Structure 1
Amino acid sequence: MLTLKAYAKINLALDVLYKRSDGFHEVAMVMQAVSLCDTVSLTSYPGEIILTVSRADLPADASNLAYRAAALLKEYTGCRQGACITLDKQIPLAAGLAGGSADAAAVLKGLNILWDLGLSGEELSRLAARLGSDVPFCLCNGTMLATGRGEILSPLPPMPACYVVLAKPPVEVPTAWVYQQFKADRVAVRPDIAGMCKELEQGSLAGVAGKLANVLENVTIPAHPEIARIKECMLEAGAMAALMSGSGPTVFGLAGSQDQAEVIASRLKAEKVPEIFVAETVWKME
């Protein structure tokens, strides 16, 4: 059995520049992996792809991105082998944390080894981009500048180590809907991507915290004001900064110590936020 960790991601900065001719949006993002993760276990199986998941509300068929990753790899390489894939899900679903993308990336990496395919990192990245905009980042983890539709990656200096409190309210926010509703002319303040990169170069956690920004909050928060309440709660409990991740609805808060992170998490529990996690930044490329 081959077992891999599939790390969640947060967006330290997210800017939407314009809508492209292919229907996607041109974006500029600073993405960061965190230690909250799913566990993906792979074993060889004659010919077929068998997917098992730990949650009843997650499909275990061809609609699952992990299954699609295995099927794409078989199609691309002509491999006749199969695999049993088991997903132990810890990343909440539809949360803006790239849980499905992380699973797909782990399957690509794992089956490349298990099936002895010998694909290069560049080949895997191209396949990853066919599965989704976040999948290439999830192949790499660490700290990355993502451009294009999110699949063009440039490594950045690692984010200074810190604790990250993640809180997901009980709402669903379809990513496609958020991007459809986004209006660039309604954004008052855009992320300072260059400034964020400079703060990372200087290794300043306070500087990074001061540059957090996500233009998609302009869409998601008016529709779901509980996101703003979670941000406010985190800041009141001592978070260095708080921001919605991706298109939402999960909010993350940065904490300089584990004790501070636990204080923030306890405050959120008192406010009846149903899904709360304390994680750390992941800097190592795995």
Structure 2
Amino acid sequence: MKIYEKAPAKINLSLDVLRKRSDGYHEVEMVMTMVDLADRLSMEELPRDTIIISSQVGYIPLDEKNLAFQAAKLIKERYEVKKGVYIHLDKHIPVAAGLAGGSSDAAATLRGLNKLWKLNIPLEELQALGAELGSDVPFCVKGGTAVARGRGTELEPIGAPPQCWVILAKPPINVSTADVYGKLRANEIKNHPPTSQLLQAIREHDFAMLCRSMGNVLEDVTLELYPEVRQLKDAFIRLGADGVLMSGSGPTVFGLVLKESKVTRIYNGLRGFCKEVYAVRLLT
């Protein structure tokens, strides 16, 4: 039997950092949703007790550094599964892009192996397992749209934002999330995103208010460290995207676009800045 799972990318409509916690993590409040850009995973059982991962791309680790590998190892150890698995990752989400590609792969692995091995693990338990792998994994296990608090693992599901096009562009650089958070001074943040206003916009399906209410406190750090990201964000605005924000710690920038007639022009304009440009829909 072969199990197939889709691993969609996530974007942050809002990312606020409230304070530095005593455990070393940051206390956050984020609004996250998923877009129709996805990796695809296939999983099949192996006769011997091992984990093998393959991919069509050559620039990702396929050993214990890979979050999907870690997810498979965790579920095998926790539930004493003495069977092996072969996982193929068909990668489409850019790596180290602020789109939770690795976290979504791990979440898809947890869901898929739960089915493959008929473990009947409840969703909440899968999310708790995911929290051991990374802060974004619990959200990716369930998907949808949610407010994430704490270190990002305390989730409050909410309704979907108004449907629109999402154009994503990743410059040819990688950004370390640890470096960005390391340079952030949480007690010096002056402009916090109006999260309550953003949530109102989602509830009322008010696209214009949604675009006005988006915010990401990590932008100031990443834009200072990587001028390419600032240039890319300026290009989005100049080309007429309705709402523009960096996702996560970057370097991917996304633009929300309501009118389909604008999409091709913005997409083509951004291709002059970078090769990795995607026009997708919100996954609602």
> CA shift at 1:258, angstroms?
3.0
1:183 corresponds to 2:182: no
Q: Distance in 2 between matches of 1:19 and 1:54?
A: 39
Shift of 1:266: 0.4
Tell me the amino acid that sits aligned with residue 19 of structure 2. Answer: Y
Q: Secondary structure at the match of 2:271?
A: helix
- Cα distance in 1 for partners of 2:203, 2:158 equals 8
Give 1:262's aligned residue.
264
Other structure's SS at 1:131 match = coil
Q: Does structure 2 conserve the Cα–Cα contact (< 8 Å) formed by 1:6 and 1:38?
A: yes
Aligned residue in 2 for 1:172 = 174
Distance of 1:20 and 1:64 partners within structure 2: 27
Q: 1:112 aligns with which of 96, 111, 114?
A: 114
Aligned-pair CA distance for 1:232: 1.4
Hey, what's the Cα distance between the residues in 1 that align with 2:44 and 2:139? 24
**Alignment-derived partner of residue 250 in structure 2:** 248
- 8 Å CA contact 2:223–2:229 kept in 1: the answer is yes
2:19–2:187 Cα contact (<8 Å) kept: no
1:25-55 alpha-carbon deviations (Å, 9 max, x no partner)? 1100000100000001111112211100121
Give the corresponding residue for 1:146.
Answer: 148
1:186 is displaced (CA, Å) by 3.8
Q: Which amino acid aligns with 1:175?
A: T
* Matched-pair contact (CA < 8 Å) for 2:123–2:142: no
Q: TM-score if structure 1 supplies the norm length? A: 0.96
C-alpha distance in structure 1 between counterparts of 2:117 and 2:17, whole Å: 38
Report what 1:41 is aligned to: 42
* 2:228 aligned partner: 226
Contact 1:187 / 1:218 at 8 angstroms: preserved in 2? no
Comparing 185-194 and 211-220, the one that deviates more: 185-194
The aligned residue for residue 19 of structure 2 is 18
Asked whether 1:212 is paired with 2:208, we answer no
Note the residue ranges of structure 1 that are not aligned, 5 or more in a row. none
Q: Could you tell me whether the CA contact under 8 Å between 1:141 and 1:282 is conserved in 2?
A: no
Q: Which runs of 4+ in 1 moved over 4 A?
A: none
Residues 214-236 of structure 1 deviation map (CA, whole Å, 9 limit, x = unaligned): 00011100111121211111112
d(CA) in 1 for partners of 2:214 and 2:135? 21
**In terms of mean alpha carbon deviation, does 85-94 or 18-27 score higher?**
18-27
Cα deviation code 1:119-170 (max 9, x no counterpart): 0011101100000000011111111100011111101111111110000011
User: For residues 156 and 260 of structure 1, what CA distance do their matches in structure 2 show?
Assistant: 28
Q: What CA distance in whole angstroms lies between the structure 1 residues aligned with 2:260 and 2:94? A: 21
For 1:201, the equivalent position in structure 2 comes to 203
The one-letter code matched in structure 1 to 2:203 is E
Match of 2:283, as an amino acid? V
Corresponding residue number in structure 1 for 2:30:
29
TM-score (norm 2): 0.97
Counterpart pick for 1:85 among 84, 87, 93: 87
Q: Counterparts of 1:262 and 1:91 in 2: how far apart (Å)?
A: 20
Question: Is the CA contact 2:146–2:158 (under 8 Å) kept in the aligned structure 1?
Answer: yes
**Could you tell me the percent identity over the aligned residues?**
45
Which runs of 5 or more residues in structure 2 are unaligned? Answer: none
